């Protein structure tokens, strides 16, 4: 499978002692694929490209979809991962490098008409970045766009910011949560134990 190439890239990076940032596991990638296949999905916007696993999953799941990824581009494997995605899915993937708190609003100014049918917020995991990303992507959400977020595990260091940002967006009436998953199983609340937790929702005000 072409995605194995990306897994190999990551493994080589880990084995040579270089930095590696977590990605979705197989349960979550399968879930992302299901969302990409929902009726009418054409444009997908994600914050957090990393080694391209979620981008690859979206593109493979839905041959009609185009993916726009926003990423800092700080990891060495970002470039080879992007090259691989372009080889397998020519013309269907765009990577916008830089700090999403700046690049997402700038991209929106340059493409005011563009609206994403699926949005995946999985970039910086500090509260400030997760919150900013959620709010900034809202301006580019199609009516009834599917909104995904990852790492709703506040009992882990990297889950604190995304969980606070997501919970506040719900409390403030900006986002409605539709489904919550923990380690591949549907659950009702964000609660330990668990390694991975993600949610599907929608923006209530676009
Ligand atoms: C958890 S990884 C994304 C994983 C990817 N969505 C997947 O499932 O395969 C997070 C990525 O966000 C990037 N990132 C962190 N802070 C960022 C920021 N402020 N702006 C853009 N990207 C950022 C990191 O460099 C990393 O590549």
> Quick one: pLDDT at residue 6?
82
Q: pLDDT tens, 45-101?
A: 999 999 999 999 999 999 999 999 999 999 888 999 999 999 999 999 999 999 999
Residue 133, burial from CB neighbour count under 10 angstroms (0-12, 13-18, 19+): buried
Quickly state the pLDDT bin for 19 (edges 50, 70, 90): low
125 CA from centroid of ligand 1 (Å): 8
Nearest to 146 by CA among 53, 44, 20: 44
Q: pLDDT tens, 34-45?
A: 999 999 999 999
% of the chain exceeding 70 in pLDDT: 94
Mean pLDDT (the chain) is 94
Q: Is 159 in the pocket of ligand 1 (CB under 6 A)?
A: no
Residue whose Cα lies nearest atom 26 of ligand 1: it is 50
Does 206 have pLDDT greater than 80? no
Quickly state the pLDDT bin for 16 (edges 50, 70, 90): low
Q: Is 53 in the pocket of ligand 1 (CB under 6 A)?
A: yes
96 CA from centroid of ligand 1 (Å): 12
Domains and CATH numbers, the chain: 2-203 (3.40.50.150)
130 CA from centroid of ligand 1 (Å): 11
107 CA from centroid of ligand 1 (Å): 17
> Quick one: pLDDT at residue 7?
81
Q: Is 50 in the pocket of ligand 1 (CB under 6 A)?
A: yes
Q: Is 73 in the pocket of ligand 1 (CB under 6 A)?
A: no
Nearest to 75 by CA among 134, 14, 157: 14
2 CA from centroid of ligand 1 (Å): 21
75 CA from centroid of ligand 1 (Å): 10
SS3 46: strand
Q: Is 72 in the pocket of ligand 1 (CB under 6 A)?
A: yes
Does 24 have pLDDT greater than 90? no
Pocket perturbation via mutation, ligand 1, pick of 55, 123, 137, 195 by most ligand atoms within 8 A of CB: 123
Q: Is 100 in the pocket of ligand 1 (CB under 6 A)?
A: yes
Does 21 have pLDDT greater than 70? no
Q: pLDDT tens, 121-137?
A: 999 999 999 999 999 99
Measured from the Cα of 57, ligand 1's closest atom is 9
Quickly state the pLDDT bin for 14 (edges 50, 70, 90): low
- Distance, C-alpha 124 to centroid of its chain: 10
Quickly state the pLDDT bin for 108 (edges 50, 70, 90): very high
């Amino acid at each position: 499978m072409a995605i194995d190439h990306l897994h190999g890239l990551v493994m080589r990076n880990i084995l040579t002692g270089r930095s590696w940032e977590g990605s979705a596991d197989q349960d979550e990638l399968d879930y992302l694929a299901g969302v990409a296949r929902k009726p009418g999905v054409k444009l997908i916007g994600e914050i957090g490209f990393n080694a391209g696993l979620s981008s690859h999953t979206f593109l493979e799941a839905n041959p009609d979809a185009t993916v726009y990824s926003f990423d800092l581009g700080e990891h060495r494997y970002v470039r080879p991962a992007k090259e691989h995605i372009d080889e397998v899915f020519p013309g269907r993937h765009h990577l916008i490098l830089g700090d999403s708190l700046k690049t997402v609003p700038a991209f929106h100014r340059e493409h005011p008409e563009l609206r994403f049918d699926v949005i995946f917020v999985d970039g910086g995991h500090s509260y400030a970045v997760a919150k900013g990303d959620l709010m900034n992507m809202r301006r580019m959400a199609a009516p009834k766009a599917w909104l995904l977020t990852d790492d709703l595990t506040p009992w882990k260091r990297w889950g604190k910011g995304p969980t606070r940002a997501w919970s506040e967006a719900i409390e403030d009436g900006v986002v409605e949560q539709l489904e919550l998953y923990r380690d591949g199983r549907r659950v009702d609340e964000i609660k330990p134990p668990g390694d991975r937790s993600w949610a599907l929702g929608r923006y209530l005000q676009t």
